Structures are given as C-alpha cells and as structure tokens.
Structure 1
Amino acid sequence: MMNRAALRIQLLSENCAMARLLDHAYQGHELVMSTAESCITRVHIYASSLLRTGVEQILDGTRFIVVDPALQSLSQPSALHKPAAELFILDGTDRPNEILDLIPELKAQNAAARVIVLADHFDIHAVALARHAGANGFCLTTSSRDVLVRSIELVMLGEIVVPSELVLAMIEDSIRSINCPPWPSPEKLINAAPRSPLSSRELEVLGWLREGAPNKVIARRLDMAEATVKVHVKAILRKIGAHNRAQAAIWAAYHLPLEAAIE
C-alpha cells in the first residue's frame, strides 16, 4: 500500500505534468492568435465617398480591414503619418495626376506598404507612370468581388497585378509590330481540315489534348517518353493549323470521332 510520502510525490508529479500541458496549450493558443493577427491587413482608402463605400462592402468579411473612415480624399496629406497601414487603395479615375505625387509620399512613410490604384480603365502610359512612382497593383472598378480580393491578396504577397485586358492589348500591339500572321478564328479553325493525315499515335495524343491532359500524363497513359509526346504535339499543331494546345483541343472536339474518346 502506498505511503503518504509516495502519494505526495505522485500528486506533485501529476500536478506538474498538468501544469506543463496547460502551459503548452496556452502557448499554442497565443501562437494561433498571433498568426491570425499577422494575417490581418489594414487598408487605407483614398477615394471618393461612393468608391470608398463600394470597396468597404467588397472587403467586408475578409482579412482586409478598412481603417480611418475620415480619409476620403487625396487632399489630406497630414493623415499620411500613420505607418501602421499595410495597404493603400487610391482612386485613379478622378485625379490620376495627384496619385503620382501621393504614391512616393506613402512609400516614404511606410516602405513596406503596398499601393493599389483602382480605376474604371487604364492605359499603358498611366500604368507605367504609376508603377514608376511605386504602385504595386492596378485593379478595375468593374472587377467582380472575387477578382478584386484575389488581386489584393496577390499584391500583398509581392506580385505586380495589372488588368488582363491591358496585357492582352500589349500582346496584340506586339503581334502587329512584328507582323505576325493572325491566329485563325474559331470558325476557321473548326472548319479546317488537316494539312496532312494524322497518324494513329497522333490521334491518341490529340484525344488526350482534348481532355486537357498535360504531356506528363499523356506520356504515362500512352507508355511513351515525354519528349516523344512533345514531338507528336508539335506535329499535330502543324498539321491542323493550330497555334497552341487550346486550339488543338477545340479542333479535336469537332473533328475527333466520339469513338476515339479517352477510355
């Protein structure tokens, strides 16, 4: 039977173990709380009341917390001394020239802050000037909630975000400048016959292209080297007059027999 001294030692040992468990649990709780707080991004908006209200509604319920509701215009430089803000959203539609002076001032006050310009539309010249001034992202006011929130998240991760339509316009200008032949229209691509017959192996590869499979998956499914798949894909694009895998998949959807579907 356990004597009183042994019982006392056992109780002390159990209490110490319980205390350690509680201490670990408390530390874990503190770590979770600290991590959650570190994910919060405080947002300053320099825009009209209408645009500000719209952005606040979009960011409601996200980790982006709008602060300083009094800051509604770009004419309040005295409010720029608050270095705690991590993200500044600027109205680039009403006064685009003013933000070119404001962006460097914001960066000087808080070098780690991110700056996003929000506007109805952008041209490459305005984007170049704002980017040179220190802007990190450019978002359209017409963007959906998901697109805008995801764009802000990318900017906070260090990415430079610009509207896709601006990038496409730049690509089209580049194509015109180097006199590239135009890509075939969907109608022309759909109605186009192969320039030369496709081999049975190429038809198999094309079937997987139609399914959106990458080269590595095609190689595994057809038991061939990935380099061989690339050769087949290149030959397929040449024969059907497609410029990329997406166009090849469209062509296959209209020309590849249903019985050639992937098993």
Structure 2
Amino acid sequence: MTTQPRQSRQPGPTGPQLPPVPATHRAPIRVVLVDDHAVIRAGLGQLLAGTEDIEVVGEADGGAAALVVVRREQPDVVLMDLQMPGMDGVAATRRIVQEGLGADVLVLTSYSDSERIVAAIDAGAVGYLLKDADPDDVLQGIRAVSRGESPIHPKAARTLLGHRASGPPVQLTSRETEILKLVKDGLANKQIARRLDISERTVKAHLTSAFSRIGVSDRTQAALWAERHGL
C-alpha cells in the first residue's frame, strides 16, 4: 500500500490560486511481520494488504533478522511470533525494547501457557494474541496497539487470571503502583508521562507489565483493580 503526497493546485494563466486539497487520511500504521513460517507471513501480508490504514514495511523469519528489519524500517508495530529457531520472540522483544527502537511489539502465537505469556509481557510486549483469533481481531489488535492500548486474547487473559489466582500475592514495582494510581485517577498515558517526567513509551511498558501482574486486559479493569486494592 502506498500513499500519494498531497499536491496543491497551481494558479492558472488567468485565474487565482485555488486552496490546497485538505488531507483526509492519516499515515498508515507501519508493521513488521516476524514468523518463521513463510505461509503465515504471506497470509498476514494478504490480510493487512486489504486495509487502508495498515502497511507492511518488512518481514523477518526469526528474532535476529527481526532486529535488523526493525532498525532499518522503524515500524510502529511488530507482529511477533514466539517459538522460532535461534533468537526467539521473547528475546527479540526484549532487545527491541532495550534498544529503544520505538516499535510496540504485539505477540501473535499459538501458545497460551502462562509461562510464555508472562515472559513475553515481562520482556516488553504490549499485547498478546493467539493464532486462532479471527482475522478482524488481528486487525483490531494492531490498531489498538497504535492507540496505546494493550490487546490480550480472551484465552490468554483467562490463563493470566488463573496464574495470578494460584500464585503468590501480586507484587507491583513502585513505579507500576504509581502509574496505576494515576490510571485510576483518569489520566491518559501522555499526561502520566508528563507528571512523572518519563517517556510515554515507558508508561506503556510499565502498564503492560502491571496488566500482566494483576491479570487485566485494559485500563478500565486496571482502574477498578486499583480502586478495589486501595491504590
């Protein structure tokens, strides 16, 4: 998918210059696909090609290759598989976050066990979808990530809830606690970043980790949890 630059109309030989045509579309969400199966990448590419607001700017068949593509293309979202030869999706996600490459990682995998879910979220992934999701859920997940949200597949969310319920009491970091308090107070990520003098991306990373720890999938649930637990 390509976008054409807006062109202003030039004055004619006898008439005045006309006003420019206003822009009607935002820039598309730039996505890199990471999966070791070419057929999966091809299917996802075909799905995303049918949209006007999402553009595939690169592909990779493993974690190490993903880092090269993400550094070069600087995408908005990385759609990341987990189980891959060599550097897996968790390790690649951690490197993308640690290097500050500016891309949000949305996991798309077949695995819904708590170990992989928690590992991916702790590495810095901002969302977790399963490959049995409807195609529209994948599209909406990418759009949600671009809006600063953290989409989690219902099955993965249930797994997280079960993991938290059977595990030790929730232990949040001081920063996660601080940010959850501000979410409860109704502040948006940008406002929280300004209040705490940190980047908006750092706020999102802390929120994703906190969501994983307390077993919720969105800000409303997080705010209710914070209220119930006296934050």
Query: TM > 0.5 between the two?
Result: yes
Q: Give the Cα–Cα distance (whole angstroms) in 2 for the partners of residues 167 and 85 of structure 1.
A: 26
User: How many Å apart are 1:117 and its aligned residue?
Assistant: 1.1
Q: Give the Cα–Cα distance (whole angstroms) in 2 for the partners of residues 133 and 173 of structure 1.
A: 18
Looking at CA atoms only, which structure, 1 or 2, has the larger radius of gyration? Answer: 1
CA contact (8 A) 1:89 1:116 kept: yes
Which of 71, 89, 107 does residue 117 from structure 1 map onto?
Answer: 107
User: How many Å apart are 1:175 and its aligned residue?
Assistant: 7.1
Which of 118, 139, 145 does residue 155 from structure 1 map onto?
Answer: 145
CA contact (8 A) 1:83 1:110 kept: no
User: How many Å apart are 1:168 and its aligned residue?
Assistant: 2.8
Q: Give the Cα–Cα distance (whole angstroms) in 1 for the partners of residues 50 and 74 of structure 2.
A: 21
Question: What whole-Å deviation, never above 9, does each CA across 1:73-113 have from its counterpart, x for those lacking one?
Answer: 32424444225211111112445972222113223455431
CA contact (8 A) 2:79 2:106 kept: yes
Tell me which protein shows more helix as a share of its residues.
Answer: 1
Q: Which residue of 2 aligns with 1:42?
A: 30
Q: Which SS does the other structure have where 1:44 is aligned?
A: strand
Q: Give the Cα–Cα distance (whole angstroms) in 2 for the partners of residues 78 and 72 of structure 1.
A: 11
Which of 81, 84, 92 does residue 71 from structure 2 map onto?
Answer: 81
Q: Which residue of 1 aligns with 2:50?
A: 61
Q: Give the Cα–Cα distance (whole angstroms) in 2 for the partners of residues 123 and 101 of structure 1.
A: 17
CA contact (8 A) 2:77 2:145 kept: no
AA paired with 2:43? G
Q: Give the Cα–Cα distance (whole angstroms) in 1 for the partners of residues 120 and 87 of structure 2.
A: 9
AA paired with 2:32? H
Q: Which SS does the other structure have where 1:158 is aligned?
A: coil
Distance 1:159 1:37, change over 3 A: closer
Q: Which residue of 1 aligns with 2:132?
A: 142
Distance 1:118 1:54, change over 3 A: same
The alignment status of 1:101 with 2:91, answered yes or no, reads yes
Unaligned runs of 5+ in 1: 1-14, 178-263
Question: What whole-Å deviation, never above 9, does each CA across 1:34-77 have from its counterpart, x for those lacking one?
Answer: xx242x011111212121112112212212111234x3332424
AA paired with 2:95? E
Unaligned runs of 5+ in 2: 1-13, 168-231
Q: Which residue of 1 aligns with 2:82?
A: 92
Distance 1:74 1:176, change over 3 A: closer
Distance 1:173 1:42, change over 3 A: closer
Q: Give the Cα–Cα distance (whole angstroms) in 2 for the partners of residues 131 and 174 of structure 1.
A: 14
CA contact (8 A) 2:33 2:41 kept: yes
TM-score normalized by the length of structure 1: 0.50
User: How many Å apart are 1:141 and its aligned residue?
Assistant: 0.8
TM-score normalized by the length of structure 2: 0.56
Distance 1:136 1:53, change over 3 A: same
User: How many Å apart are 1:158 and its aligned residue?
Assistant: 1.0
